[in-house]
Structure 1
Amino acid sequence: MMVIETTFKPIWPVPVQIRIGAGRSKQVKGPEDALYYITNRWPSTKGNRLELARLSCMRMLKRQERCDDARNAFVSAALEANVLVL
C-alpha cells in the first residue's frame, strides 16, 4: 500500500496588507502567514482581537474554521494593532 502525504496551505482570495513599524508593507496571504506575523512581528502581545485571530488561524489550519472567518479575525486584529494598510 502506498501513502501519499499532502501539504494543506490555504490562501485567502484577497491578501491582507499590513505595515509593522517603519518597514515596508507586507502581504499576508493566509492563516500560516498571519500566524507568523502575530507570533514574531506583532507590535503588541495583548488584545482580544489578537487572541481571537491567533485561535481562528490555528483552527483554519486544522480545517476547523472557514477561511473567510480566519481572514476577518486577522483583519480585526490588524485594525486593533494599527498595522492594517487600507
Structure 2
Amino acid sequence: MSKRDIPWSHPLKVTLRAGMDRTFASVYDALDYLENEWPKKRGDRYDRAVLACRQGLNGQAPAELAREAFIAACLETGLPAVTAAPPPYRRSGYLSWARV
C-alpha cells in the first residue's frame, strides 16, 4: 500500500478473465490495476474510474466515489465485482470483527 493510499470501507472482490478472484482494498489498488493490468476493452466508465481514483488519491474526491467508479468500469468490461467482507480491525492487541 502506498503512503498516499486511501483504503475503502469494504474491500471489493473482482473475478478476473482467467477465473481467479482478486480483492481490491483501496484506491491505489484499483488505480494500479486500471493503469497496468486492465483488459484491452476500455470505455467511458474506465476513463471515469481512472479519473476518480486519481482524484481520490489527491484528496479531490471521496474514496467511495473512486470505488463506485471502479465497480462501474468492471461491469462495463464484463468483470463481475462483489463486496468482500471487511477486514478484521485490530484493537487493543486482539482482532475484533466489530468496529467500535
Contact 1:17 1:26 in 2 (8 A): yes
Q: Where does 1:36-55 land on structure 2 (aligned, <5 Å)?
A: 36-55=32-51
59, 62, 79: which one aligns with 2:75: 79
Give structure 1 regions of 4+ aligned residues with deviation exceeding 4 angstroms. Answer: none
Q: SS at 1:83's partner residue?
A: coil
Over the matched positions of the two proteins, sequence identity in percent amounts to 31
Q: CA deviation at 1:22?
A: 1.2
Q: When the two structures are superposed, what TM-score results if normalisation uses the length of structure 1?
A: 0.83
Q: Provide the residue aligned with 1:9 in structure 2.
A: 5
TM-score (norm 2): 0.73
Query: After the TM superposition, which of the residue ranges 7-16 and 57-66 deviates more from structure 2?
Result: 7-16
What amino acid does structure 1 have at the position aligned with 2:54?
A: M
SS in 2 for 1:27: strand
1:26 to partner: Cα distance: 0.4
Stretches of structure 1 lacking an aligned partner (at least 5 in a row): 1-6
Q: Count residues in correspondence.
A: 80
Contact conserved, 2:15 with 2:81, CA < 8 A, in 1? yes
Coordinate RMSD, CA, aligned? 1.4
Superposed displacement of residue 44, structure 1: 2.5
Q: 1:21 aligns with which of 17, 20, 28?
A: 17
